[in-house]
Each structure stands twice: as structure tokens, then as C-alpha cells.
């Protein structure tokens, strides 16, 4: 085979533009004993194809995959543990005597009225604090309006 043709085929091969017939010519050339010295570096590439063609897969492939039943059992065990823990704590909460039976009830209406007035007074003080801070914001807004007129 002509050396110039082989060089062009090698260039086309590395550009990804060769056909199957041209690649076959390259494989035949590089498997022959008389390869040009400056193309000797490509012999390993094309020799690999010949070697790889002869390789065979000898390992046995299992047809049935191994069952992983322990994963299912672990998830069932975890579910049972969570359920039993929840039931245990719910049972403990229901067995505890309800110490807060009072719930703010009063026997005397006068005492209830006084306690309500105390609570409303506290709420009123907190609301008044909030209104004072809004007064500062209103004063700021009026000042900015006079400046930016």
C-alpha cells in the first residue's frame, strides 16, 4: 500500500472522517510487519483492536439477583419501634394526673372581675407603648415631608 495514502488515512482517522473500509485498510497495514518508522507509534493503537477482538468475557453472570430481605425487615422493625414508642408516651401522658385543673376559674365573681381588670390593664400598657413608637414614626414622616417639599 502506498505510504502517502496511509498517512492521509491516519489523518482522516484522527479527524473522525474515515469509513469502515478505510479503517479496515489501516488495521491491515499496521498489523503487517513492514510499517514505516515514522508511523510506528500508531501500531499500538491499531494492534489493540486486533487484541480486543480476541478477548472474551469468561465471568459467569448470575441470572437471579440476590434478594435483600434484611432491608424490608429493618424497615418493619423501625416502624414497630416508632409505633410502640408513640403508644408508650401517649399512655404515660394519659396516666399522669392533670395537675392544672384550675384553668383560671374563680368561685367569686368579684375576684374574677379584679383579675380580668389586671389582665386588661397589662394589655393596655403594652398597647400604649406601641402607640408611642408610632407617634415617633408620624413625627419622622411629617419632618421628611417638610424637608422634601
Question: 116 lies in a domain?
Answer: yes
Phi, psi of 42 (to 5 degrees): -90, -10
Per the structure, the complete domain to which residue 126 belongs is given by 106-149
Among 19, 38, 54, give the residue marking a domain's end.
Answer: 54
* Average pLDDT over every residue of 67-96: 84
pLDDT of 68 > 80? The answer is no
Structural domains in the chain (count): 2
Asked if 26 contacts 14 with a C-beta cutoff of 8 angstroms, the reply is no
| pLDDT grade for 99, boundaries at 50, 70 and 90 | low
Question: 84 lies in a domain?
Answer: no
Question: 62 lies in a domain?
Answer: no
Question: 49 lies in a domain?
Answer: yes
Question: 59 lies in a domain?
Answer: no
Question: How many Å apart are CA 65 and CA 61, to the nearest integer?
Answer: 10
Q: How far, CA to CA in Å, does 4 sit from each of 30, 39, 118?
A: 14, 11, 108
Question: How many Å apart are CA 101 and CA 89, to the nearest integer?
Answer: 21
Residue 83 confidence (pLDDT): 94
Question: 67 lies in a domain?
Answer: no
Question: 137 lies in a domain?
Answer: yes
Among 36, 54, 72, give the residue marking a domain's end.
Answer: 54
* Percent of all residues in the chain with a pLDDT value above 70, rounded to a whole number: 89
Residue 101 confidence (pLDDT): 58
> Residue 19 in 3-state DSSP?
coil
Question: 69 lies in a domain?
Answer: no
Cα Rg, the chain, nearest whole Å: 46
CA atoms within 13 A on the CB side of 115: 9
Question: How many Å apart are CA 34 and CA 103, to the nearest integer?
Answer: 105
Amino acid at each position: 500500500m502506498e505510504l502517502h495514502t496511509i498517512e492521509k488515512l491516519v489523518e482522516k482517522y484522527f479527524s473522525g472522517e474515515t469509513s469502515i473500509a478505510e479503517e479496515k485498510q489501516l488495521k491491515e497495514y499496521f498489523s503487517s510487519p513492514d510499517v514505516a518508522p515514522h508511523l510506528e507509534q500508531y501500531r499500538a493503537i491499531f494492534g489493540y483492536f486486533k487484541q480486543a477482538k480476541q478477548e472474551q468475557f469468561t465471568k459467569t453472570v448470575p441470572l437471579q439477583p440476590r434478594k435483600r430481605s434484611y432491608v424490608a425487615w429493618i424497615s418493619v422493625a423501625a416502624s414497630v419501634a416508632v409505633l410502640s414508642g408513640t403508644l408508650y408516651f401517649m399512655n404515660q401522658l394519659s396516666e399522669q394526673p392533670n395537675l392544672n385543673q384550675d384553668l383560671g376559674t374563680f368561685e367569686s365573681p368579684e375576684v374574677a372581675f379584679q383579675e380580668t381588670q389586671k389582665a386588661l390593664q397589662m394589655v393596655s400598657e403594652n398597647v400604649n407603648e406601641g402607640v408611642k413608637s408610632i407617634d415617633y414614626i408620624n413625627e419622622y414622616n411629617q419632618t421628611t415631608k417638610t424637608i422634601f417639599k
